[in-house]
Amino acid sequence: GENVEQHPSTLSVQEGDSAVIKCTYSDSASNYFPWYKQELGKGPQLIIDIRSNVGEKKDQRIAVTLNKTAKHFSLHITETQPEDSAVYFCAAHNSGGYQKVTFGTGTKLQVIP
């Protein structure tokens, strides 16, 4: 089945700096890669996603890049703010796979004011 590795597990950055979180996946049939932000006591919230036919997508301070050949995708947050502090999860979807969606293990991001 699909395996998704996410790094780092924790990340501390100064306010205003950039943060980068990386994920690698194993199943080349995966074709949809969302990123979620989970705050304490809440469910994951979609912040950005990318389809396999696209290499990069940007939404204000957040961007995602996908390298299908290397099977990895990354989340980039620029000009970080304290409210960006949360746990971030990547996921890989495979419509033909058994489990359909596999999540990374999460990255706890702390933005220091």
Partner 1 sequence: KAGVTQTPRYLIKTRGQQVTLSCSPISGHRSVSWYQQTPGQGLQFLFEYFSETQRNKGNFPGRFSGRQFSNSRSEMNVSTLELGDSALYLCASSLEGLAASTDTQYFGPGTRLTVL
Contact footprint for partner 1 (CB under 8 A)? 31-32, 34, 36, 41-46, 49, 51, 89, 91, 93-95, 98-106
**Pairing outcome for strands 72-77 and 62-67:** antiparallel
| Least CB distance to partner 1 at residue 105 (A) | 5
* Residue with smaller CB distance to partner 1, 14 or 99: 99
Q: Which residue has the tokens 């933005």?
A: 111
- Tell me how far apart the alpha carbons of residues 47 and 38 are, in angstroms, rounded to a whole number: 10
| Least CB distance to partner 1 at residue 73 (A) | 14
Contact 111, 13 (CB under 8 A): yes
* Residue with smaller CB distance to partner 1, 20 or 49: 49
